[in-house]
Amino acid sequence: MQKLIELTKSDKCKDCKVCCIFPEKYPNLKPNGLNLKKTGDNFTCEAYEPETRRCAAYQKRPFDCEIYPFAVAKSEDGACTLLAIDSLCPNYEEIIDKLAETDLTDLRYPEGTEIAWENTFIPLRVLKNNGNGGSKLNMLSPEDCFFFRSYFFNTGKLSSLGFPYHMIWTQTTSYFWKIIHGSFCLFSKTGKDYSLPLPPLPYSKEACNECALLLAGLNGCSFTVFNASQETAEQAGKDGFMARKTSEEFLYKRIALAELKGDNYKAARWLCNVFEKNSDISFKEYRPTDLNDCAGMLNTWYNHKVEKTKYENDLRLLGHSLKTNRAALSMAAKLGLTGRVLRSGANVAGYTFGSAISEDTFCVYFEITNPSFKGAGQYIFRELCRELIACKYINTMGHDGIEGLERAKELYKPVEKLGIYTITI
């Protein structure tokens, strides 16, 4: 824990009034062994010195105080003990950023110091499994990117292994997690229906069987697991489940897309040149100040597409795209999305968002271009690929049954098409 305690030290503490002062008389985070006294509208720890804003018991302060804003807490379902961070601390996002370089594998904490879960806690790592916790599930929220990645990063090349893939649906879908037989199980709930948007990780027959029982108890839902890889589907088949291929995703070599060399890429190269010739180009990292301009361009794109669309299914997919793109634009940083905005002069010609799903694979989740700028799509894709020098592969997801999209993705010459399977009983 000493490494974590170092991370808690911040200049922000000087002007912050979150620690040591509580809005309620019996807070969950009450310092163990110390009393609170009423001060105005709040309750203050008896060891807190308001004049100096120091802790009189600093050398012997309780473990909870020592590690705050980290906390060792029982999960909502009670099935495990977690290292969490309290989002009430104004410094929590910076601390999470630094955690990427901190080894969290062997954290020791004094036995019996676990506290109850608070709504403001963000899970970081499971420290101990305590049982199955019954049918209760733990909520997964858009703040939980670090926790999700600690399980799924580097476990494959499918887009669903990235946190944004799921969290852009939080307007219509709720997400939950549970550790079952040591596997991370992700649940989603749309309306009254629960399902698994990913197979348990690591995959195991025991975890699947337990999930099936749990789903049956949750509004009588049947066991359906989406987004399984071919490898997992094959193993599930051997374990007596049914696995059916539902779609596929396109995987490319990044270097080929960055260079666009040879006859295969003649058309894409030409379109990049057209855009370059006719535009006053800037290609920059997406910032919150780009939101309004990008949202305006998204509306233009949507209206243009709706006008040209004849099929009901395509219209439905366009509606989904509009919703998920809006979510990406407003929650990009929280979801761990890397974004780029392409402008010609002051006008947004396009934007793109994606995230790394493993050390060598980047997934492009969104790319929207202004229909008034010919070649903007080809240009923005090439430039993004040129920047991602640490990645070997680019996943551009599937085609959703849209013929034109499938043709366009084929033209870029995928090195592989990754099968996506649904597993049922």
CB of 149 to ligand SF4, least distance (A): 23
Q: In whole angstroms, how close is the CB of 65 to ligand SF4 at the nearest point?
A: 3
CB 115 within 8 A of CB 75: no
The 75-94 contact track toward ligand SF4, x by CB under 6 A, reads --------------xxx---
Q: What is d(CA 123, CA 154) in angstroms, rounded to the nearest whole number?
A: 20
Burial of 326 (0-12, 13-18, 19+ CB in 10 A): middle
What is d(CA 420, CA 241) in angstroms, rounded to the nearest whole number?
15
Q: Using the minimum distance from each CB to ligand SF4, give the nearer residue, 18 or 402.
A: 18
Give the CA distances from residue 385 to residues 64, 165, 267, 292, 395, in Å, rounded to whole numbers and listed in that order: 45, 20, 17, 25, 11
Q: Is 358 in the site for ligand SF4 (CB under 6 A)?
A: no
Report the distance separating Cα 30 and Cα 64, nearest Å: 9
Under the criterion CB under 6 A, does residue 322 sit at the interface with ligand SF4?
Answer: no
Looking at residues 53 to 72 of the shown chain, list those that interact with ligand SF4 (rule: CB under 6 A): 55, 57, 61, 65, 68-69
Tell me: does residue 216 bind ligand SF4 (CB under 6 A). no
DSSP string across 343-370: EETTEEEEEEEEEESSSSEEEEEEEEE-
Binds ligand SF4 (CB under 6 A): choice among 3, 12, 245, 284 = 12
- Judged by CB under 6 A, the residue of 13, 216, 274, 408 near ligand SF4 is 13
Question: Are 75 and 81 spatial neighbours (Cβ–Cβ below 8 Å)?
Answer: yes
Please, which residue, 59 or 105, has the CB nearer to ligand SF4? 59
48 binds ligand SF4 (CB under 6 A): yes
CB of 47 to ligand SF4, least distance (A): 4
# chain residues binding ligand SF4, by CB under 6 A: 22
> Nearer to ligand SF4 by C-beta: 19 or 221?
19
Bridge partner list, 393: 253, 361
Least distance to ligand SF4, CB of residue 56, Å: 7
Judged by beta carbon, residue 61 or residue 343, the one nearer ligand SF4 is 61
In terms of C-beta distances under 8 Å and separation of at least 24 residues, what long-range contacts does 398-403 make, across chains too?
A: 398/247, 398/248, 398/249, 398/250, 399/250, 400/247, 400/317, 401/313, 402/314, 402/317
Contact 227, 357 (CB under 8 A): no
Cβ neighbours of residue 400 closer than 8 Å, sequence gap 6 or more: 247, 317
Q: How far is the CB of 59 from ligand SF4 (least distance, A)?
A: 10
Residue tagged 């999470």 (tokens): 96
- The nearest distance, CB 90 to ligand SF4, in angstroms, is 5
Instruction: Closer to ligand SF4 by CB, 45 or 115: give it.
Output: 45
**Distance of alpha carbon 199 from the chain centroid:** 16
Closer by beta carbon to ligand SF4, 99 or else 420: 99
Q: How far is the CB of 99 from ligand SF4 (least distance, A)?
A: 15
Among 4, 7, 20, 256, binds ligand SF4 (CB under 6 A): 20
The footprint of ligand SF4 on residues 115-154 (CB under 6 A) is none
Q: Is 37 in the site for ligand SF4 (CB under 6 A)?
A: no
Q: How far is the CB of 145 from ligand SF4 (least distance, A)?
A: 20
Across the beta sheet with 70-74, the strand order is 70-74, 80-86, 121-129
Q: Is 22 in the site for ligand SF4 (CB under 6 A)?
A: no
Interface residue list for ligand SF4 (CB under 6 A) = 8, 10, 12-13, 16, 18-20, 31, 34, 45, 47-48, 55, 57, 61, 65, 68-69, 89-91
